[in-house]
Structure 1
Amino acid sequence: MIKRLSVAAIATMTFASAGSAVAGGPVVVELFTSQGCSSCPPADALLGELADREDVIALSLHVDYWDYLGWEDQFGSKANADRQRGYAHASNSTMIYTPQMVIAGTDELVGTKAMKLAQLIDRHKAKPDNVTLTVTRTDAGKLRIAAKRLGDVPGKMLVQIVRYVPEQLVEIRSGENAGMDVTYHNIVESLEPIGDWTGDADLNIQTEVSGDNPVVVLIQDGSSGPILAAARAD
């Protein structure tokens, strides 16, 4: 009999002895998924287990390229599919698929592989930060972003703002998942670049932010390279 462990349970076992490792900031886990993909619900559930962890920023990016199978994913977007294609190009791959997870902008895996996911999260957590990042909301409806370079960084880094819906239940009535009710977590509504940063001086900027949904800021080597820092503001 095969016993399947959740990523939360696995995370408590994996690298449990690595107490001497230097802890980094939260690890970004991006799940490329679709309501029209029959293999995706287990990965969506796995991402849901990560959604409340402080050491992980879990994001669900719904793609649009499975809509032709008979169910249009209301969260799907070409922008998310293009981001996935960018990661594929950066890794010299010609294939994109769902469910796919990308960890910290560098490592990818099938989104149902809980053991490998836990190992990759712990590996990235153990890496020292080369950038520190803090994000706070002001009473005036602005987002204050502050970052400092600590080590080696690319010559130009992209600062991006992610808006997401924390949770939504969807009743899927046609397509490959017809008859299923699926709860999705941290559904990305938008991912917008707001500027570049070289790291030569500390970053201190404010930008407008509307609505009450949570916000994540990513500092990344381009739009499909390693994620150097991430922080959220609820």
Structure 2
Amino acid sequence: MRHVLQTAALMTSCLAAPAVADMSPVVVELFTSQGCSSCPPADAMLTELAARDDVIALALHVDYWDYIGWKDVFAQPAHTLRQQDYARATGDTTIYTPQFVVAGKDFVVGARGMAVVDLIAEHRGHENPVAVALDWSGDTLTVDAEFEAVPVDGDYVVQLVRILPEQTVDIVRGENAGKTIVYSNVVQSIDVLGEWDGTSPVSYEADVTDAEQVAVIVQLGTNGPVVGAAKINN
């Protein structure tokens, strides 16, 4: 583990972008912790990104800072494992907060906000090869996925992400003691709906009764590039 202590000033005007209906959103994951003193600027940036229609912004709270005086109320071991999987995919031997992962393939220290913005713009210029369509009726979410181009051989994973859109937390101990922080798009869980070879369209149904918002991510493995994604509100 390492703790990145850089800071950056982030301007809302740089983060805002018009929605483009016919383009796939870019998935941006932030690995963060309420016990990390360098995380609040990255958390604020994720809040700005969460307001964009062309981005699926996800906050994954890890648990490895819980020992230093404050237990993150959103932290899950599964999020730490996901970050470790990303690290293994790139040959890294350490994990840290804050860290952004853009489209499952680009990794950015959380303080380098403009690098994240630039990467989003870069990925916006390349349509995802998989079209993902979502329909949420009652308690049932229907997911349809289909390659719009010639499938690239690989083992793809279709994942359902349950999201809390906004939560405010008063932190009373640890490195952020005394701060009140707004957290956006907090990931409650990531569940694998199924594995897929991409050769023919696929459809899934999931019972969703405990989330206000969900996203579906199609990814090469669980730690590779994102090839398709969509988000829907209840």
Structure 1-normalised TM-score?
Answer: 0.90
| d(CA) in 1 for partners of 2:216, 2:16 | 27
Asked if 2 retains the 8 angstrom alpha-carbon contact of 1:24 and 1:124, the reply is no
Matched to 1:10, the amino acid is C
| Contact 2:10–2:45, Cα closer than 8 Å, also in 1 | no
Aligned to 2:14: 10
Alignment of 1:188 with 2:187, yes or no, is yes
Give the conservation status (yes or no) of the 8 Å contact 1:154–1:221: no
Which residue of structure 1 aligns with residue 35 of structure 2? 36
The CA distance in 2 between the partners of 1:149 and 1:170, in whole Å, is 41
Q: How far apart in 2 are the matches of 1:101 and 1:159?
A: 21
What are the equivalent positions in structure 2 for 1:215-226 lying under 5 Å apart? 215-226=214-225
Please name the residue that 2:4 is paired with.
Answer: none
1:50 Cα deviation after fit? 0.6
CA–CA separation in structure 2 for the residues paired with 1:38 and 1:232: 30
Partner-residue secondary structure (3-state), 2:194: strand
Distance in 2 between residues matched to 1:5 and 1:75, nearest whole Å:
25
Shift in CA distance, 12/68, structure 1 to aligned 2, threshold 3 Å: closer
- Distance in 2 between residues matched to 1:232 and 1:11, nearest whole Å: 19
Q: Which is worse superposed, 188-197 or 207-216?
A: 207-216
Instruction: Please name the residue that 1:147 is paired with.
Output: 145
- Structure 2 partner of 1:85: 84
**Letter in structure 2 aligned against 1:145:** V
CA deviation profile, 1:110-154 (whole Å, cap 9, x unmatched): 112121111100111111321111111013x11111111122434
Where does the alignment leave 5 or more consecutive residues of structure 2 unmatched? 1-7
Is the CA contact 1:33–1:99 (under 8 Å) kept in the aligned structure 2? Answer: yes
**TM-score (normalised: structure 2):** 0.90
Q: Deviations over 1:163-185 (max 9, x none)?
A: 01111110000001111101100
> What SS does the corresponding residue of 2:96 show, helix, strand or coil?
coil
Identical residues among aligned pairs (%): 45
Q: Would you say the 8 A contact 2:156–2:220 is kept in 1?
A: yes
1:166 paired residue number = 165
**1:107 aligned residue:** 106
Query: CA separation in 2, counterparts of 1:170 and 1:90?
Result: 33
What letter is aligned with 1:36?
A: G
CA contact (8 A) 2:131 2:145 kept: yes
Name the amino acid aligned to 1:105: G
Q: Return the alpha-carbon distance in structure 1 between the equivalents of residues 211 and 63 of structure 2.
A: 26
How many residues are aligned here?
222
1:67 aligned partner, one-letter code: D
Q: Which ranges of structure 1 fall in alignment gaps of 5 or more residues?
A: 17-22
Report the Cα distance in structure 2 between the residues aligned to 1:75 and 1:118, rounded to whole angstroms: 25
